[in-house]
Amino acid sequence: MSVPGIGFPGPWRLRSGAEEYELLVMRAVTALDERECVPAEHITWQLDHWLTSARRPLLEMYEALGGILPWNASSLDRARQDARVRDRLVQALERRELVALRVQRRAASWAWPEPALPPPRPEPEVIPLARPPVEVFTLFPDPARQAEALRQAAAAGVPFCEECEKQKQRAAA
């Protein structure tokens, strides 16, 4: 007894490494150039891998070629069933009932396009601030005024620095 809805005439796409193949039942194809077909030996070599990684498409091919899959296959029967499916598909590939074509690989759903860069923001206009210009620091900003202040302090007897005052008091004592 066959699983309903599985047997349809394809095409089936299967991936093998960097290559992708489309398998077709020959009665569903009208005309096909032999140069486009992948050698049957190459596809036969991939069947064991596909039976473990992509089993359903191979079972669909088996049914499309007239095979009947049991409903209640146990896990012990699965190995025999897989061998039967593999043998039938190898036979169909050798007889050209089933053909494989190499096709362009589709873009994967996880491949994101390059992100679009946002348009550059316009440079803001520079608004001058209303501040007075900063004076350059000098050790003696106005030497003439400083000299006048020292003369007045000497005339009044005011000490110029703390160190000088301490020395004067030590000398007086």
What is the reported pTM? Answer: 0.55
Write b or e for each residue in 123-155: b if 16 or more Cβ atoms lie within 10 A of its Cβ, otherwise e.
eeeeeeeeeeeeeeeeeeeeeeeeeeeeeeeee
pLDDT at 5 (0 to 100): 44
Confidence of residue 172 (pLDDT cuts 50, 70, 90): confident
Reply yes or no on whether the pLDDT at 147 is more than 60.
Answer: yes
46-72 tens-digit pLDDT: 888 888 888 888 888 888 888 888 878
Mean residue pLDDT of the chain comes to 79
Per the model's pLDDT, the better-predicted residue between 129 and 6 turns out to be 129
* Residue 2 clears pLDDT 50, i.e. is over it: no
Whether a cis peptide bond, with omega within 30° of 0, leads into 11 is yes
